[in-house]
Amino acid sequence: MAKQQAEAANPANEKLKALQTTLEKLDKAYGKGTVMRLSDAKVMDVPVISTGSLGLDLALGVGGVPRGRVVEIYGPESSGKTTLTMHCIAEAQKSGGLAAFIDAEHAFDKGYAEKLGIDTSQLLIAQPDNGEQALEIAEQLISSGAIDICVIDSVAALVPKAELEGDMGDSKMGLQARLMSQALRKLTGVINKTGCCCIFINQLRDKIGVMFGSPETTTGGNALKFYSSVRLDIRRIGQIKDADNVIGNRTRVKVVKNKVAPPFKVVEFDIMYGEGISKAGEVLDLAVDMEIVKKSGSWFSFETNRLGQGRDAVKDMLKDNHELLEILEGRIKDKIKNDENALLDTTEPNIEDDGTPE
């Protein structure tokens, strides 16, 4: 009796009981897990979809692009934005997921998608007439709960209906920014609830009259920048040649924003024409950087074995030797676990995005 009176007199116990009762009511009204403690293990586990790039998966800190979140991928023209999202779609399909591609640019290449491993017979594609229609289609597909990944290509092509119906030269200040802001307010909750990964591809523009800092900015206003859990800056930094023929691009990706792991990590990989991201080349480069594979002059060696002479020759050898490729991949992952700063870039991001609409 005395113990019960002591418990009743303790205000902390009363608060905990009241909190537990409230949590049970919320779970009953809105579903289990509506409000959770941050210490719960399942809160910290972020389900992901692989990007198709080992280095980028590691740089993102969780193994890929997070499900239930908004992701923005931006960069200059022909930098590999659509290629990267196609790899994400292919990886989602490999794990049994369904994908949707909202092709606002009306430039989807079926043949290229199939070369990157996408099963086009299972891919949902829409080519909307205007921005409102595109975002409405995306919302309804995501709301169904059946879509694992939805790609919108691109924000710059989401033209508001009012702009399409107006005359050429009419000033429509901020229309696209308002459209994106309204759409993301509606989409974010649905995306999180269904566990769909929604990727927006964006383009770059130059701001006029910028004296200090980068003049580059992304289109579509400020909203996407704030709502995105992950923002990736992708750039072409060089060409890959076979004699005089250009056969691919060297690409650099910087994680400019990351809400699920530490940001500002940078990775580089090869994007080969007609093939996509070169896994063998990326694994070799990471292994050399982390001193798993030793490089002496033009010779590469792993443990006591010589792999070959010249990067291209070793890359071709790794393409055929899947067993060795998996061993090197495992060593790289172990090294990253032991040294979280292995992919860290100390420079500031080179995009100063104030969200200014075009």
On whether both 283 and 210 belong to a single domain, the answer is: no
What are the residues facing 249 on neighbouring strands?
A: 239, 271
Any domain includes 16: no
Lowest mean pLDDT among 3-12, 27-36, 129-138, 251-260: 3-12
31 annotated binding-site participant: no
77 annotated binding-site participant: yes
pLDDT digits (tens, 9 = 90+) for 109-132: 999 999 999 999 999 999 999 999
User: Above pLDDT 70, what percent of the chain?
Assistant: 90
Can you tell me whether residue 103 is helix, strand or coil?
Answer: strand
169 annotated binding-site participant: no
- Residue 53 host element (H or E): none
Any domain includes 77: yes
Tally of domains in the chain: 2
* Per-residue pLDDT, 208: 85
On whether both 285 and 258 belong to a single domain, the answer is: no
The CA-to-CA distance between both ends of the chain, in Å, stands at 72
On whether both 113 and 202 belong to a single domain, the answer is: yes
On whether both 145 and 287 belong to a single domain, the answer is: no
pLDDT digits (tens, 9 = 90+) for 167-195: 777 777 789 999 999 999 999 999 999 99
Any domain includes 30: no
* Per-residue pLDDT, 9: 56
Question: Hey, what's the torsion of the CAs at 142, 148, 154, 160, to 10 degrees?
Answer: 0
82 annotated binding-site participant: yes
Range of the domain at 98: 48-165+173-277
On whether both 153 and 292 belong to a single domain, the answer is: no
Domain boundary among 224, 250, 277: 277
Any domain includes 236: yes
pLDDT digits (tens, 9 = 90+) for 334-347: 888 777 666 655 44
On whether both 129 and 221 belong to a single domain, the answer is: yes
On whether both 206 and 309 belong to a single domain, the answer is: no
User: Above pLDDT 90, what percent of the chain?
Assistant: 65
Q: How far apart are the C-alpha atoms of 273 and 267, rounded to whole Å?
A: 19
pLDDT digits (tens, 9 = 90+) for 299-337: 999 988 899 999 989 999 999 999 999 999 999 988 887
On whether both 256 and 151 belong to a single domain, the answer is: yes
Domain boundary among 224, 248, 277: 277
CATH label of the domain that carries residue 330: 3.30.250.10
Whole-model pTM: value is: 0.84
On whether both 191 and 222 belong to a single domain, the answer is: yes
353: left (phi over 0), alpha (psi -120 to 50) or beta: beta
* Tokens at 158, concatenated: 């989401």
On whether both 88 and 118 belong to a single domain, the answer is: yes
Any domain includes 40: no
225 annotated binding-site participant: no
189 annotated binding-site participant: no
On whether both 116 and 251 belong to a single domain, the answer is: yes
80 annotated binding-site participant: yes
Query: Among candidates 187, 162, 188, 189, which has minimal Cα distance to 176?
Result: 162
CATH label of the domain that carries residue 261: 3.40.50.300
Any domain includes 249: yes
Matching residue, tokens 């006591």 = 304
- Classify residue 122 by its DSSP letter: G
Any domain includes 64: yes
On whether both 100 and 189 belong to a single domain, the answer is: yes
Any domain includes 62: yes
Domain boundary among 247, 277, 307: 277
